[in-house]
């Protein structure tokens, strides 16, 4: 671990004394050098990478020579790694690591988009990335609310499915897409109540319950899907329009990304800050975190541990259910079997990458969303040098690195997954 190599005196940690980070530095330096090698050995000398603002300034395009740009980015990565090996002030570590990793990813992107005919449509891709990050965001936020209060929720996938299915069904029945969204929330909430009850009152193993709820949701929605196929007009696609903020939507980059999106995007972003505020600035949040860290302490101060957990898990179900509506309503799709395709589990990884903190979760979700979007884009244009699957693999590699504790420590709430029985003294 990086901390082991600390040379600073433990008495007063001087933030400006250089500290060596040999392992991450070595990895980054190697990756950077690899990128430089690719730039000269693999990329053709006259290849160019084209970047375009495809929505606002449609006539502007930049073409950059690929091999030089990739080599430069590789050099930046390697330099960052080398700095870490030599030793740098501890407070600079995050910044340097961030720059180095970003340079590496940009290098890969430049290389991937160097094929003739492919254009990096910056605005579409960034806007799409934000949109595609939403299922991770809602799922991980649901996980944060749940696990911060000490209940593991493996069942997010199932809640997604229930939300996705019920959202479309309710929208079809009522003819109102917003009623569908409320229906999705209700479905997520109701299907999570079972977990809440079993985890608090009956102290059942939460992972087992979560897995079973997933299978139950998959079976139930698949069965209902088959039934609905026979009845006309119960599983038709509903869509909602993007909200355009007038002139704001015409600002380059920012406009398409932030000011011309569907309501799901805004709800997701607002939710991040609302949950962050609730967790860290309110009585509910203090008690929730206490209950997840040390329930006996909370209990001894008169906090009803299991009641708080019950309602938090239920609230988490509501968030996940709304996330489910993204799959159908936000994407203007009808429900189909297992359409969530495991994203509920990826959301758990995002929650860990985000270290159970809503702001971290936002960053993690954006990374996952971005790579998904780029992979889709590359696959659609065809003939990419770097396979889209490879880019899509990157966030999972990041997850492993975070979980393994290479970049700081991901510390779960201490009582996460441990049922609390006040009488069990």
Partner 1 sequence: MRLELKGLTKKFGSFTADDDIDLVVEPGQIHAVLGENGAGKSTLMNMLYGILTPTSGEILIDGEPVSFSGPGDAIAAGIGMVHQHFKLVGPFSVADNVQLGREHTQRLGVLSAKAARKAVLDVSEEYGLKLDPDAICEDLPVGVQQRVEIVKALSGPKTELLILDEPTAVLTPAEITELLQIMRNLADAGTSILFISHKLKEVQAVADTVTVIRRGKVVAELEPTASEAEMASAMVGRAVTLQVDKTPAEPGEARLEVTGLTVVSDAGVKVLNGLDLTVHSGEIVGLAGVEGNGQTELARSILGLVKPDSGRIAIDGEDVHGASPAARIAAGLGYIPEDRGRDGVVAEFSVAENIVLNQYRDAPFAKRGAVNAGAVRKRAADSIAEFDIRTQSPEEPVSALSGGNAQKVIIAREFSRPRRFLVAAQPTRGVDVGASQFIHSRLVAERDTGTAVLLISSELDEIYALADRIAVIYNGQIVGEVAPDTPREVIGRLMVGGGIHDGAAAASPEEPGAPEPPAAEEAPEPPAADETSNDEDANGGDR
CA distance 174 to 168: 10
Output the smallest distance, CB 172 to partner 1, in A: 38
Output the smallest distance, CB 13 to partner 1, in A: 12
Query: Residues binding partner 1: what is the number (CB under 8 A)?
Result: 29
Output the smallest distance, CB 292 to partner 1, in A: 9
Output the smallest distance, CB 279 to partner 1, in A: 11
Using the structure block, give the residue that is written with the tokens 């019920």: 166
Q: Output 245 or 277, the one with its CB closest to partner 1.
A: 277
User: Any idea what the Cα angle at residue 219 is, between residues 213 and 223, rounded to 5°?
Assistant: 145
Q: Output 232 or 424, the one with its CB closest to partner 1.
A: 424
Query: Taking every pair of C-alpha atoms in the chain, what is the biggest distance, in angstroms?
Result: 74
> Which 127-156 positions form the footprint of partner 1 (CB under 8 A)?
none
Site string for partner 1, 272-311 (x = CB under 8 A): ---------xxxxxxx-xx--xxxxxxxxxxxx-------
Output the smallest distance, CB 144 to partner 1, in A: 15
Task: Note whether 161 and 336 are within 8 A (CB).
Answer: no
Q: Output 134 or 279, the one with its CB closest to partner 1.
A: 279
CA distance 255 to 245: 8
Output the smallest distance, CB 359 to partner 1, in A: 17
Burial of 88 (0-12, 13-18, 19+ CB in 10 A): buried
User: Strand runs (DSSP E) across 53-97, as ranges?
Assistant: 61-65, 88-89
Site string for partner 1, 394-423 (x = CB under 8 A): --------------------xx--x-x-xx
Q: Output 281 or 337, the one with its CB closest to partner 1.
A: 281
CA distance 390 to 374: 11
| Torsion from C-alpha of 213, 218, 224, 226, nearest 10 degrees | -160
CA distance 119 to 115: 9
Site string for partner 1, 235-274 (x = CB under 8 A): ----------------------------------------
Q: Output 45 or 302, the one with its CB closest to partner 1.
A: 302
Q: Output 41 or 301, the one with its CB closest to partner 1.
A: 301
Three-state DSSP class for 78?
A: helix
CA distance 375 to 386: 9
CA distance 418 to 60: 57
Q: Output 218 or 412, the one with its CB closest to partner 1.
A: 412
CA distance 84 to 175: 58
Output the smallest distance, CB 233 to partner 1, in A: 44
Q: Output 160 or 310, the one with its CB closest to partner 1.
A: 310
Output the smallest distance, CB 425 to partner 1, in A: 5
Q: Output 94 or 281, the one with its CB closest to partner 1.
A: 281
Output the smallest distance, CB 6 to partner 1, in A: 17
How many alpha carbons fall within 13 Å on the CB side of residue 271? 25
CA distance 370 to 351: 16
Which residues lie near partner 1 (CB under 8 A)? Answer: 281-287, 289-290, 293-304, 414-415, 418, 420, 422-425
């Amino acid at each position: 671990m990086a901390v082991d190599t600390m040379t600073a005196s433990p008495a007063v940690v001087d933030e400006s004394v250089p500290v060596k980070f040999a392992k991450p530095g070595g990895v980054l330096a190697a990756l950077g050098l690899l990128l430089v090698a690719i730039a000269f050995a693999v990329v053709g000398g006259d290849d160019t990478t084209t970047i375009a603002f495809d929505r606002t300034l449609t006539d502007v395009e930049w073409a950059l020579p690929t091999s030089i740009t990739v080599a430069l980015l590789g050099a930046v990565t390697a330099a960052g790694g080398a700095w870490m090996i030599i030793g740098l002030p501890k407070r600079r570590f995050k910044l340097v690591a961030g720059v180095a990793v970003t340079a590496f990813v940009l290098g890969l992107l430049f290389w991937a988009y160097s094929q003739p005919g492919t254009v990096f449509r910056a605005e579409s891709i960034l806007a799409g990335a934000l949109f595609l990050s939403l299922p991770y965001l809602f799922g991980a936020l649901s996980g944060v609310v749940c696990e911060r209060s000490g209940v593991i929720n493996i069942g997010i996938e199932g809640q997604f499915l229930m939300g996705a299915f019920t959202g479309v069904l309710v929208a079809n029945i009522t003819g109102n897409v917003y009623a569908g969204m409320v229906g999705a929330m209700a479905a997520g909430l109701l299907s999570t109540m079972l977990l809440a009850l079993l985890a608090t009152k009956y102290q059942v193993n939460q992972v087992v319950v979560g897995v079973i709820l997933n299978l139950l949701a998959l079976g139930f929605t698949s069965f209902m899907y088959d039934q609905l196929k026979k009845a006309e007009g119960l599983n038709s696609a509903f869509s909602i329009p993007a909200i355009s903020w007038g002139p704001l939507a015409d600002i380059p980059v920012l406009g398409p990304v932030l000011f011309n999106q569907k309501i799901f995007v805004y709800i997701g972003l607002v939710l991040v800050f609302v949950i962050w505020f609730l967790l860290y600035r309110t009585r509910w949040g203090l008690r929730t975190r206490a209950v997840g860290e040390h329930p006996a302490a909370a209990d001894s101060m008169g906090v009803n541990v299991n009641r708080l957990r019950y309602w938090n898990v239920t609230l988490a179900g509501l968030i996940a259910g709304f996330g489910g509506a993204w799959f159908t309503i936000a994407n203007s799709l009808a429900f189909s079997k297992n359409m969530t395709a495991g994203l509920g589990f990826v959301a758990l990884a995002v929650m860990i990458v985000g270290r159970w903190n809503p702001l971290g979760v936002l960053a993690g979700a954006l990374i996952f969303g971005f790579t998904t979007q780029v992979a889709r884009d590359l696959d659609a244009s065809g003939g990419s040098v770097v396979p889209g699957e490879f880019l899509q693999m990157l966030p999972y590699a990041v997850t492993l690195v975070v979980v393994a504790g290479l970049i700081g420590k991901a510390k779960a709430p201490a009582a996460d997954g441990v049922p609390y029985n006040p009488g069990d003294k």
